[in-house]
């Protein structure tokens, strides 16, 4: 399945159905009168986060989505049928952006989360609605209210706990394959990875987290060089970054600083995230070269530890995963503690004790 992480679509909720003009005329019944029913409500446009999806490819070939209009009102005071909702299923982590691609209108981060994005129009009134003591035979009715419509952008930001960043050919896909069941494309040339990949890391029986691998960055990615920085959005939600540096390069410090500069230029708080730096491909280096390059990286890396490893040979992969898990567990504990703190509205009356009034609203 082709990976697609953004799409522009047109949405329109359903129009309300018109009311009816009708009069009751039945044999042997002395008094008739207006009995035109109201129109039905138009369908809403609902966006739902589905757990089994991981791409927006469904919105590549169809860009227009319109909910049905409500049914017409009918005689005998029958109200028109309400239209069915138009439900759009998107992957977890999808953001709905305005046409300017900056204003976030909805953010779906939990499986099963539903957002009524556009409400359907109300149905119109039939002539029975306008019956009064002085107007016994009204012929007035109203059409249904129109639905809402707008163009929006869907942008997918993968949900992961750890994100892999680094220059092309730093060994990110090899590391992902070494510690997860994911099977990304691996080759000995730059830009092998063209789309983000996800894998689930399991450490023992109880520790588990999701890791995301994105295409490599090069100097000037924030200006559009190489594949650009458009895939960095997929590591915005991560709790920690694993910055892999190719140990076979001559200047590992320059490689590290290149990626840090691109993270800072991108923004979105990526440069402030906890970081674990991994000197990769140590199986191709002498112990003296490994020690020298680790020391050089420790002098410039301020966000976290510097560890030597080899994804291809499986050397010290477990140590790197343990370092990532420590920071992920701390972040999860902080989130759980923040969620447990009750939010009290300023100026609200106390829920109990002095000043509590159960009738106060």
Are 120 and 218 found together in one domain? no
Total structural domains within the chain: 2
Give 341 or 230, the one with higher predicted confidence: 230
Provide the residue range defining the domain that includes 267: 162-337
The pLDDT value recorded for residue 224 is: 64
Are 167 and 152 found together in one domain? no
Are 31 and 100 found together in one domain? yes
What does the H/E/C string look like for 252-293?
HHHHHHHHHHHHHHHCCCHHHCCEEEEEECHHHCCHHHHHHH
SS3 330: helix
Whether residue 139 lies inside any domain: the answer is yes
| Domain end position, chosen among 131, 156, 181 | 156
Whether residue 346 lies inside any domain: the answer is no
Whether residue 354 lies inside any domain: the answer is no
Are 26 and 148 found together in one domain? yes
**How does residue 188 score in pLDDT terms, banded at 50, 70 and 90?**
low
Q: What is the pLDDT of residues 105-151, one digit of tens each?
A: 999 999 999 999 999 999 999 999 999 989 999 999 999 999 999 99
**How does residue 359 score in pLDDT terms, banded at 50, 70 and 90?**
very low
Give 182 or 19, the one with higher predicted confidence: 19
Q: What is the pLDDT of residues 8-41, one digit of tens each?
A: 999 999 999 999 999 988 888 777 889 999 999 9
Residue 257, C-beta contacts closer than 8 angstroms, at least 6 positions apart:
300
Whether residue 350 lies inside any domain: the answer is no
What global pTM score does this model have?
A: 0.78
Q: What is the pLDDT of residues 190-243, one digit of tens each?
A: 666 677 888 889 988 788 999 988 887 877 766 665 565 778 888 888 899 999
Are 232 and 317 found together in one domain? yes
Are 119 and 260 found together in one domain? no
Mean pLDDT of the chain: 87
Are 262 and 333 found together in one domain? yes
The pLDDT value recorded for residue 150 is: 95
Whether the pLDDT of residue 345 is over 70: the answer is: no
Are 115 and 172 found together in one domain? no
CATH at residue 189: 3.40.50.300
Give 136 or 352, the one with higher predicted confidence: 136
Whether residue 351 lies inside any domain: the answer is no
Are 255 and 189 found together in one domain? yes
Give 319 or 332, the one with higher predicted confidence: 319
What is the spatial distance between Cα 147 and Cα 118, in angstroms, rounded to a whole number?
8
Could you tell me what percent of the chain has a pLDDT over 90?
Answer: 55
Whether residue 349 lies inside any domain: the answer is no
Are 287 and 182 found together in one domain? yes
What is the spatial distance between Cα 303 and Cα 68, in angstroms, rounded to a whole number?
53
Q: Is residue 160 classed exposed, middle or buried when 0-12, 13-18 and 19+ CB atoms within 10 A define those classes?
A: buried
Whether residue 71 lies inside any domain: the answer is yes
Are 263 and 328 found together in one domain? yes
Chain centroid to Cα 243, Å, comes to 24
Whether the pLDDT of residue 361 is over 50: the answer is: no
What is the spatial distance between Cα 306 and Cα 200, in angstroms, rounded to a whole number?
23
Whether residue 342 lies inside any domain: the answer is no
> DSSP H helical segments within the chain, as ranges?
172-179, 252-266, 287-300, 317-340
Are 92 and 230 found together in one domain? no
Could you tell me what percent of the chain has a pLDDT over 70?
Answer: 88
CATH at residue 130: 2.70.210.12
């Amino acid at each position: 399945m082709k990976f697609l992480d953004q799409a522009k679509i047109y949405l329109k909720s359903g129009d309300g159905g018109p009311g009816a003009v009708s009069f009751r005329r039945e044999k042997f019944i002395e008094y008739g009168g207006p009995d035109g029913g109201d129109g039905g409500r138009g369908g809403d446009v609902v966006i739902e986060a589905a757990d089994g999806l991981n791409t927006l490819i469904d919105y590549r070939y169809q860009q227009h989505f319109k909910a049905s209009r409500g049914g017409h009102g009918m005689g005998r005071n029958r109200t028109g049928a309400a239209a069915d909702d138009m439900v759009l299923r998107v992957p977890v982590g999808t953001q709905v952006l305005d046409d300017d691609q900056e204003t976030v209108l909805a953010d779906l981060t939990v499986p099963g989360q539903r957002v009524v994005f556009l409400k359907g129009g109300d149905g119109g009134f039939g002539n029975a609605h306008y019956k009064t003591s002085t107007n016994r035979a009204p012929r007035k009715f109203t059409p249904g209210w129109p639905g809402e419509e707008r163009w929006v952008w869907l942008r997918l930001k993968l949900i992961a706990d750890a994100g892999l960043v680094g220059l092309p050919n730093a060994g990110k896909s090899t590391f992902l394959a070494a510690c997860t069941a994911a099977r990304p494309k691996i080759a000995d040339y730059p830009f092998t990875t063209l789309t983000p990949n996800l894998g689930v890391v399991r450490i023992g029986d109880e520790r588990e987290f999701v890791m995301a691998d994105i295409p490599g960055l090069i100097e000037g990615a924030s200006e559009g060089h190489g594949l650009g920085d458009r895939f960095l959005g997929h590591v915005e939600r991560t709790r920690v970054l694993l910055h892999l540096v190719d140990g076979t390069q001559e200047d590992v410090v320059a490689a590290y600083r290149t990626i840090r500069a691109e993270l800072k230029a991108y923004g979105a708080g990526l440069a402030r995230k906890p970081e674990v730096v991994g000197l990769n491909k140590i199986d191709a280096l002498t112990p003296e070269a490994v020690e020298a390059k680790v020391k050089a990286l420790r002098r410039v890396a301020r966000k976290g530890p510097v560890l030597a490893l080899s994804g291809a040979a499986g050397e010290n992969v477990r140590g790197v995963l343990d370092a990532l898990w420590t920071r992920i567990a701390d972040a999860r504990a902080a989130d759980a503690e923040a969620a447990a703190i009750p939010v009290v509205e300023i100026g609200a009356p106390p829920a109990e004790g002095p000043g509590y009034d159960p009738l106060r609203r």
